Chain A
Amino acid sequence: MLRRTLLCTALAFASAAVAVPAMAQSAYPDRPIQLIVPWGAGGGTDAVARILGTLLQQELGVPVNVVNRTGGSGVVGHSAIATAKPDGYTIGVVTIEIDMMHWQGLTALTYKDFDFLAMVNADPGGVMVSVDSPYKTLPDLLAAIKEKPSGTFKASGTGQGGIWHLGLAGWMLSHGLKPDQVTWVPSQGAAPGITDMVAGGVDIVPTSLAEGRSMIDAKRVIALGSMSPERQELFPDAPTLKESVQSDWTLAVWRTIAAPKGLPEDVATKLGVALEKAYNSPEYKKFMTERGFGMRWADGKEATRIVSEDDATLGKIMKEAGFAK
């Protein structure tokens, strides 16, 4: 593998040297592309970016380097994408947090600062409890939440004011309950939240079911419900909120590929086509289904529409729940 990399280096070096005179009029892309990920190596967004980067590299014929710009709950990375030169050599993964952080007063950045190229994935939220929980169905759980005093139940799975915290608040609001009827225990992601639930620390984890897949398979965690319009393929036993407790609340976190605002038309088209090919490749499909990630395609225009709609919905809920500043 190292040898292969070395060989590639040598080849790239040689071809670069030959290509110098032709470079002036060569078409996009003629040098490596940076794919900025606003979240850390090891997380779901990073994984999706890396497989997509590999496939894009094959389509475009230039290296696509995944670069993690982490911190500040995604603010740093999203700013890095938005403020880059809109020349097509810096693109990035923009996640649902872009529709939240400006409401929280963390940044002035909104979805309007990006040119969206495609939406490549969406994961609906869910409701999970430990196998030791006395509540085995969603109606049971909801009845208990309603009946017991506010704050009896504790939930976890992301930071304070994070997307899943919002998802839980939205679900509570949809039943006319207070958004903080269930107390939120901040955690550094879904995995620590689920671990803590199994250890008996919290009662509910409302993250995407994919995050809890191994524990669901190990019969340590029960998926009580899914915050999607239809049941999820990988978790057929988890009913939707609609069919189980007649709630209209749905939430899905998505990942899009976007560029800084002002990308030239031809570059956007070229990237869009390459992304669609990468998305439709068997490798991508296999990767996503094996990891339990939801497949979701939308082209640039459609993605922009979904992102702007979610911006309005999330803003409304965040104001009601008292998250917005």
Chain B
Amino acid sequence: MLIFEQAAALVFDPYVLGVILASAIFGMLVGAIPGLTATMATALLVPMTFFMDPVPAIAAIVTATAMAIFAGDIPAALLRMPGTPSSAAYVDDAYKMTQSGRGDEALGAALVFSAIGGLFGSIVLMTLAPALAEVALRFSSEEYFWLVLLGLSCAVFVTPSSPTRGLISLLFGLFVATIGMENPSGEPRFSFGNLELMAGIQFIPAMIGLFAISEILRTVTATIPRQKIPRSDGHGIFKTQWKNLKKYPVQTVRGNITGTALGILPGAGADIAAWISYAISKRFSKTPEKFGTGHVEGLVEAGASNNSAVSGAWIPALVFGIPGDSITAIVIGVLYIKGINPGPTIFINDPQTVYAIFMVFILANLIMLPLGWLAIRGARPMLSIPPSTLMPMILIFCIVGAFAIANSTAGIVMMLIFGIIGFFMEENDIPIAPAILGMVLGPMLEQNFITSMIKADGDIFRFFERPIAGGLGVFTILIWTLPLVMLLLRRRKQARLAT
């Protein structure tokens, strides 16, 4: 108990609380602007944390990243401009809810379930960190290979319309991911000697193009003028969430667990967690046909999932100094500078600091609720601006966002090209989501396949030799073949009945 008191004294200090508040506002701002990521927020904070004590320094980063991940949902819901790849999984549902006057409910769900996910992840971090980090240490490229294949099968579930058009989109995304020289061979592919293409297609500009620019084009070419967005039905941001929680308890828990589990794995992370959770949610939903049309269920599950993954990524980072994502990579550096060396002994050597960090996690996810409420209220007037004025404003935001991610004009060019592609795709009922999924998973698929083959000297059975890999492999193959077998059996039965 003494340790808890000491830890509490470290956290509930006016200076530390001030830092938490300021970095929360900062994170909210950065996250709400597409093109600026949670990683960027963390990197900008590092020079400032240098002059702080350990606890406020870590508190600043924890708070800012939690806020930034949630805030990415705000432009996603209002402007169809996902701030981060993890918001992209449910951007269409959130955006369509806003268009039909349920923007408050969409953002409220994103906010409340983000907080729930973050809290769940934090609790797992506090209680089970050492044991779970051990499990994460057993994952090698074979295991990740199967995991990625499982993720790819999500494409079937995130496709709202015809499966063939979904597959076209997925293949397009996979192809885009092969451009450049960031592949296991280090060979420049499809770059035509162009320096910027050698670096590969920048993910964020492509995403802004596919979603936001295509949406602007769609709005200005709409033959029937868009109806004004109905005023919010007055149910409030929080009120509807109690209902959602009661309606979707299983989804919430499932999202939390999936997100935390994938967050712990250093090779997975929040982006994949959101997609997989969205797909699981649709697969087991009673109303899968509503997904993608402005349905809150997927948002609840995937929203909880990506925030719990962010907390989960801290587990291998604290226990073994293994970065799960680029945020924790920066954090590990800060921990070392502050003399808190990550390792299994961190819980023994530095319990006050560790418990103080845990408290900050809880506090950050709680402070998210009022601040998020303010941010949602603050962003609302944007919807009452007429499209003739709003669209140009969004356009300039897109341009600056696409520039900001790598500070290069090439990002704007890519945004433009992908905007036209996205517009063409939507005119032809080709869904965009599978393309994004392909871009996220393509590089991982290639990396893990090629490296596994190198390790096995080309022996394909290596993919089943290690126990976890074997289990995952059999599971994946079952998921892929079971529907087919069922179909064949049913046909046979029908044929027999007919005779």
Contacts and interface: CB of A to CB of B under 8 A. Distances in A.
Task: Determine direct contact between A and B, CB below 8 Å.
Answer: yes
B49 to A, nearest CB: 10
B200 interface: yes
Contacts of A215: 320-322
Contacts of A3: 22
A47 B195 contact: no
B8 interface: no
A315 interface: no
Contact of A195 (B266, B341, B455): B266
A185 interface: yes
A154 B196 CA distance: 32
Contacts of A192: 266-267
A50 B22 contact: no
A312 to B, nearest CB: 23
A72 B180 contact: yes
Contact of B199 (A72, A194, A214, A286): A72
B343 interface: yes
Nearest to A68: B406
A79 B345 CA distance: 44
Contacts of A69: 406-408
Interface residues of A, number: 62
A290 B336 contact: yes
Contact of B406 (A71, A184, A290): A71
Interface stretch (A9-17, A140-148, A197-205, A252-260): A197-205
Interface stretch (B132-140, B205-213, B255-263, B351-359): B132-140
B40 interface: yes
Interface string A101-135: 00000110000000000000000000000000000
Nearest to A37: B43
Is the interface on chain B under 10, 10 to 19, 20 to 34, or 35 or more residues? 35 or more
A2 B457 contact: no
Nearest to B28: A2
Interface string B272-304: 000000000000000000000000000000000
Contact of A200 (B140, B337, B342, B451): B140
Interface string A72-88: 11011001100000000
A1 B186 contact: no
A161 B195 CA distance: 19
A137 interface: no
Contact of B447 (A67, A79, A188, A198): A188
A50 B43 contact: yes
Contacts of A66: 43
Interface stretch (A38-46, A169-177, A270-278): A38-46
A178 interface: no
A47 B333 contact: yes
Nearest to A187: B451
A162 B184 CA distance: 11
Given A1-B19, A106-B188, A199-B138, A191 B199 contact: no
Interface of B: 19, 22-23, 25-26, 29, 39-40, 42-43, 45-48, 50, 60, 137-142, 180-182, 184-186, 188, 195-196, 198-200, 202, 266-267, 319-323, 326-327, 329-330, 332-333, 336-339, 341-345, 406-408, 447, 450-451, 454-455, 457, 466
Given A71-B180, A156-B451, A161-B186, 17 more contacts: A1-B22, A42-B326, A42-B327, A50-B47, A51-B50, A70-B406, A76-B195, A80-B408, A184-B454, A186-B186, A200-B138, A202-B455, A214-B321, A214-B322, A215-B322, A220-B137, A291-B336
Interface of A: 1-3, 40-43, 46-47, 50-51, 53-54, 66-73, 75-76, 79-80, 106-107, 151, 154, 156, 159-162, 183-188, 191-192, 194-196, 198-202, 213-215, 217-218, 220, 283, 286-287, 290-292
Enumerate the 3 nearest inter-chain pairs by beta-carbon distance, A residue then B residue, closest first.
A214-B321, A71-B199, A201-B140
